[in-house]
Structure 1
Amino acid sequence: MRARDLLADFPVVTLDTPVIEAARLLADQDLPGLIVVDEQGLPSSILPGTQVLRLAVPGYCQDDPALARVIDEAHADEFLKTLAGRTVRAALPKGERELPITDPDATVLELAALMARTHSPLVAVVEDGRLLGAVTLQALLDRALAS
């Protein structure tokens, strides 16, 4: 089984897409993350849903989870509103990192290794300078476990 066999169309965003719009896309379509594309429509990054949360959750709550417990429920339920005015660019991890991008001939093991190595729930599949879609962790596990 190859990447092309697990491939699915996948929504993309740009660096300038509002983060709240990206969060809605993640939620509405139950996605594990999003592909961030450049001006040519090629993947420039993968935005896992956890990175959107990282941007929304106050730093003091990430540093000391006990502080999250002292926030009253009414305010805690509205933490995603802090994303207003921010773009995907702000949500991306800082620094150079390997991108989870492969070609359609990648094997299931190659896909799994790439996901594990890059801590990404999806891999963008590119051929001849064109984004074909993505393979998600869910699709990979479904097919691998069914074998």
Structure 2
Amino acid sequence: MQAAQLAEDYPAVSLDTDALDAARLLAEHRLPGLVVTNASGTAVAVLPASQVVRFIVPTYVLDDPALAGVLTESMCDRVSHKLRGKKVRDVIPERLSNVPAVAADDTVVEVATLMARLRSPLIAVMKDEHLIGIITASRLLAATLSDC
């Protein structure tokens, strides 16, 4: 199976989209991440939901996870406070500042390898330098497990 056969349309936000609006889109549609576009509509990055989830956790708890059991503050307040006033460009992880992409004729193994290596929940599928769709980790898993 080739990447083009797995590619599907997928929601996108711009670099200047409000980060809180992007988080709501992720939550409402239960998406693993969002494709991020520049002003001309070209895909330039991926914003994984896991990156937004990091805003729930204070930095000192990330450094010492044992502290997580003693916190009682509201997660909703924490996320909205940390995202308020920020744009998507402010919360994209540096390692995903380019859209992870495969060619339309790449194999499922090539797609899985890139997805795993970059820890990206989304992979862009390109043909002749044009985005033809996105492959999500769940779509990739469904395709590979359908033969089992």
| Superposition TM-score tier, normalisation by shorter sequence | 0.7 to 0.9
Unaligned runs of 5+ in 2: none
- Aligned CA distance change for structure 1 residues 90 and 56 (closer, same or farther; 3 Å): farther
Indicate if the aligned counterparts of 2:44 and 2:98 stay in contact, CA closer than 8 A.
Answer: no
1:11, distance to aligned residue in structure 2 (A): 0.6
Query: Deviations for 1:104-127, whole angstroms, at most 9, x for unmatched residues?
Result: 111101100110111111101222
Distance 1:95 1:105 in 2: 25
Is residue 2:45 matched to residue 1:23? no
Q: What is the TM-score normalised by the length of structure 2?
A: 0.87
Matches within 5 A, 1:2-81: 2-73=2-73, 75-81=74-80
- Aligned CA distance change for structure 1 residues 70 and 77 (closer, same or farther; 3 Å): farther
**TM-align CA RMSD:** 2.0
How many pairs were matched up?
146
Matches within 5 A, 1:46-125: 46-73=46-73, 75-82=74-81, 83-94=83-94, 99-125=99-125
Query: Percent identical across equivalent pairs?
Result: 44
Unaligned runs of 5+ in 1: none
1:133 partner letter: G
Distance 1:35 1:25 in 2: 12
Structure 1 residue runs of 4+, over 3 Å off? 95-99
- 2:124 partner SS: strand
